[in-house]
Structures are given as C-alpha cells and as structure tokens.
Structure 1
Amino acid sequence: MLMTKASIPEKKKARELTLQKLYAEEFQEGSYKTKLPSENEGTVSDIGEILSADLTRLILENKNDLDTIINRHVVTWPVEKLSHVDKNILRIAVMELKYIDSVPTKVAVNEAVEMAKKYGSENSYKFVNGVLGSVIQEIIP
C-alpha cells in the first residue's frame, strides 16, 4: 500500500473516503467500486483515491476477521448491531492496527476518534476510543 508515500492530509482524506465507501457498501453490495461525489468534485487527490481503493478492498477482503476482533471487544453489542458509521470506523482502525505496519498505533486510534467525532453520534468517539484501547491490548505485542 502507498500509505507511506502519501501526505498526512491525503491519508486523512483517504480514510474519510474509505468510510464513505464502506458505508455505501452496507446498503448496496459492490457500490464501493463506484466513484463517490467527493471523488468527482476533486476534493480527493489521485493518491488519496488509490489509498482509499486499496484500504477499502483490504477491509472488505478481511471483514470477517476484523469483525471477529471487534466482537471480542464490544461487550454490549455484536458488531452487526453497531451503527454503520461506528462499525466501519472500527474496521478501518483495526485494519490499520493489525495489517498496515506503516501506520503507528497512536495515529490509527487518533484518526478513528476524529472520524467518530466528525461522522458519528454524540458519544461515538468515546465508544471507538474504548474499543480500540481494548483491541490494542490483544493485537499489539
């Protein structure tokens, strides 16, 4: 993945675009392959689009594994009952934590919390932070 070659703003936009694609995929399978308005408006760079496409593909390929990890750390709800936004923010962060070595742990968690503040409900960021704190205990040696 090109995560190491992208600027910080490009990575942030790529994560947000990935969240949008995963959200759309919840309602229409295969929709992640379609360009979203944000891509057509030029708000995401070419490298951001490539990063997002790679990250989205990896998450969808590993969705069962990611959901299994998340389920072990969500004590109140199974992953299927989480909001689509929270669930996909967690999938992005767990993918980065477990499979993408070039993303530091603090960055993956901080970016997830920031997306939860921006796109989630009032307390989503607290929930995401708590779940990821528990996930880190499991997957980071």
Structure 2
Amino acid sequence: MARSTARKRALNTLYEADEKGQDILSLLAERIAEPGAQTPLPDYAIEIVRGVADHRRDIDRTLNDHSTGWKVRRMGVVDRNILRIAVWEILFNDDVPDKVAIDEALALAKTLCDDDSPAFIHGLLSAVCSDREAVLSALAQAEEPATDVPAEAVDEGVGVDADMDGESE
C-alpha cells in the first residue's frame, strides 16, 4: 500500500482520537484489533500514529514555537493532525525526505481543508525544516536530566528544591 494512503489512514485515526478526546494509542489498539468495515491499518500508518503519540509533546511544542498567531490548540483538527504527521516525519523519521513530508501534507490539506490551510501548513512546515537541527538539538537537551536533580525527581516532576527523599523544603 502506498505511503500516501497510509498517511491518510493515520490522519483518520489521529483525527478520531483528537475529536473524541481519546488516548491515541488506545484508539490505535482498537483499530488494529477491530478494523471494522475498513481494511486493516497499513504498517506505515501504525508507525505514524505511534510516532506522533510518542512524540506529541515535542511535536506540539515545535509547532507552537514556529507558528505565528496560531497555537496548536486553536488550529483546526484536520490541520493540526496533518501538521503533526509531517513534523513527526521531518524530525523523527529519517526515511522520509523533508520535501516529501511537506508535499504529502499539502496534498492532504488541499483535499481535506479549507482554502487557506495549504499556505499556512506550507509556511509552518518550511519554518520547522529550516530550523530542524536547532529543534532536534533543543529536544535532545530537554531529554537530558539536570545533573543536580535526582533522576527520581525528574521522573516524578518534583522541583529542584526537593531533597533526596522527594520532600520539598
């Protein structure tokens, strides 16, 4: 099955989870177990949905940082999920050239979104691509725990003024 079709199927799953307010991975598990009237999800669609779910915070932060005037939560549901797929491909899937990720996102936007969406999506994805190395560097640094904070504190979200027992002073 063509990757274009897989992207559309991934978009359908992400859209549904977004609209329902459902956890992406739980919906994906349902779609894998019970495809319903549709054919089973292609492997690449599953890879996209898992990738977006695993990196959603980083993807949304990247979109918010590069978007002027529109935060992710204010974007149309279809637009934001097209963008999430493309940003996942740009940042986390080295098998897809950036230009292909952008072109595929634009193809989806032209058929599924309003007339202004393709230009917005193109501009935002171009900005992410131009800043790709800086974004990846910032994401890598954000994943490294601070050296003066115990790892348990980072995992539990405890502040830096917590002692070794996890209690705040």
Shorter-chain TM-score tier: 0.7 to 0.9
- The structural deviation recorded for 1:106 is 1.0
**Whole-Å Cα distance in 2 between the matches of residues 126 and 86 of structure 1?**
11
**Whole-Å Cα distance in 1 between the matches of residues 36 and 111 of structure 2?**
19
**Whole-Å Cα distance in 1 between the matches of residues 132 and 49 of structure 2?**
21
> Where does residue 32 of structure 1 map in the other structure?
28
Identity rate of aligned residues, in percent?
29
Distance 1:113 1:39, change over 3 A: farther
- Give the TM-score taking structure 1 as reference length: 0.83
**Whole-Å Cα distance in 1 between the matches of residues 8 and 133 of structure 2?**
24
CA displacement, residues 7-35 of structure 1 (integer Å, 9 cap, x when unaligned): xx620011000100000111133323333
Q: Which has the higher contact order (CA 8 A, sep 6+)?
A: 1
- The structural deviation recorded for 1:86 is 0.6
4+ long deviations beyond 2 Å: 28-42
Please give the residue correspondences for 1:100-115 in structure 2 after superposition, counting only pairs within 5 Å.
100-115=93-108
> Where does residue 162 of structure 2 map in the other structure?
none
Aligned length: 129
Match among 61, 66, 87 for residue 59 of structure 2:
66
Whose helix fraction is larger, Structure 1's or Structure 2's?
Answer: 1
> Where does residue 41 of structure 1 map in the other structure?
38
* Consecutive unaligned residues in structure 2, runs of 5 or more: 135-169
- Give the TM-score taking structure 2 as reference length: 0.70
Query: How well do the aligned residues superpose, as a CA RMSD in angstroms?
Result: 2.1
* Consecutive unaligned residues in structure 1, runs of 5 or more: 1-8
Establish whether residue 130 from structure 1 lines up as the match of residue 123 from structure 2: yes
